[in-house]
Amino acid sequence: MIKMLKMNNKNNPGSFGSSRGLSQKIKKDKKRKSSSTRWIGRQLNDPYVLETQKRGYKSRAAFKLLQIDEKYKFLAPGLSVVDLGCAPGGWLQIASQKVSSIVGKEKVVGVDLLPTEDIPGSISIIGDISDRIIGEKLIQIIGTKPNIIMSDMAANTTGHRQTDHIRTTFLLETALDFAIENLKKNGVFLAKCFKGGAEIEALSLMRKHFSKVNHIKPDASRKESVEGYVIAIGFKG
């Protein structure tokens, strides 16, 4: 059985008080598309965007990982981590801090099709995780099978919900295949997962290879978004 868990803000390092009163109106511009106006409005009125800038995180997604880890406490000093689809680096920052990864003895490695700025305590490479050579390179860099494999990968949206769901599910399946092949025993797999039906086969495979599988939607995921995450704990091999 796969459980859906709701985040609780109390004592959560990924939370920072109320967003009440945080509301800025956007001036109308006939030249600007309505979708662009809505996006600008969300950015200006999103407390996570503001707090991301304040804390120096590479992306607001850092709060999603913070909140998920607050619930499951799977990131701990000394563990090794592989981050799939790591750009722009928000998850690398949090993982490096949580596992106490330091320069010269990096325990965190990431890969993305796009370049990622250097983040102390981590190493990132450019590549496609579906390429076996890239996968082997990640394991070679970290020097061991990782304790944690995580993926915040999502396909570029087309505006067609089912198409976007299928494309993102393919990335989930790609990340899961890599995890099953490379995770250390009792390891953890965390990945973005859009609900829509296509993900059922991947979830079934997780139940086969892991002791526990849960859905989770951190508070930092926008309420109107179909975005969610799945965490699989206790890799059995």
- Report yes or no on 199 lying in a domain: yes
- Report yes or no on 205 lying in a domain: yes
DSSP 3-state of 29: coil
DSSP 212: E
* Parts of the chain with a pLDDT under 70: 1-45
Which pLDDT score, from 0 to 100, does residue 2 have?
Answer: 41
Concatenated DSSP letters for 91-159?
Answer: HHHHHHHHTT-BTTB--EEEEESS-----TTEEEEE--TTSHHHHHHHHHHHTS--SEEEE---PPP-S
Which pLDDT score, from 0 to 100, does residue 37 have?
Answer: 46
- The total number of structural domains that make up the chain: 1
Enclosing domain of residue 120: 3-19+60-235
**pTM for this structure?**
0.83
User: What's the CATH code of the domain at 214?
Assistant: 3.40.50.150
- Report yes or no on 45 lying in a domain: no
Per the CB < 8 A criterion, the answer to whether 127 and 111 are in contact is yes
Q: Please list the active-site residues.
A: 192
In this predicted model, what pLDDT tens digit does every residue of 116-138 receive, in sequence order? 999 999 999 999 999 999 999 99
Which pLDDT score, from 0 to 100, does residue 148 have?
Answer: 98
Which residues lie across from 190 on neighbouring strands? 150, 231
Q: Which of 179, 62, 61, 58 is nearest to 129 (CA)?
A: 179
- Report yes or no on 31 lying in a domain: no
Q: Tokens 């000093």 map to which residue? A: 77
Which pLDDT score, from 0 to 100, does residue 47 have?
Answer: 86
- Report yes or no on 150 lying in a domain: yes
- Report yes or no on 26 lying in a domain: no
- Report yes or no on 40 lying in a domain: no
DSSP 3-state of 191: strand
Chain centroid, CA 165 distance in Å? 16
- Report yes or no on 110 lying in a domain: yes
The dihedral sign for the CA sequence 195, 201, 207, 210: negative
Q: Measured between alpha carbons, how far is 209 from 233 in angstroms, rounded to an integer?
A: 9
In this predicted model, what pLDDT tens digit does every residue of 23-33 receive, in sequence order? 445 455 555 55
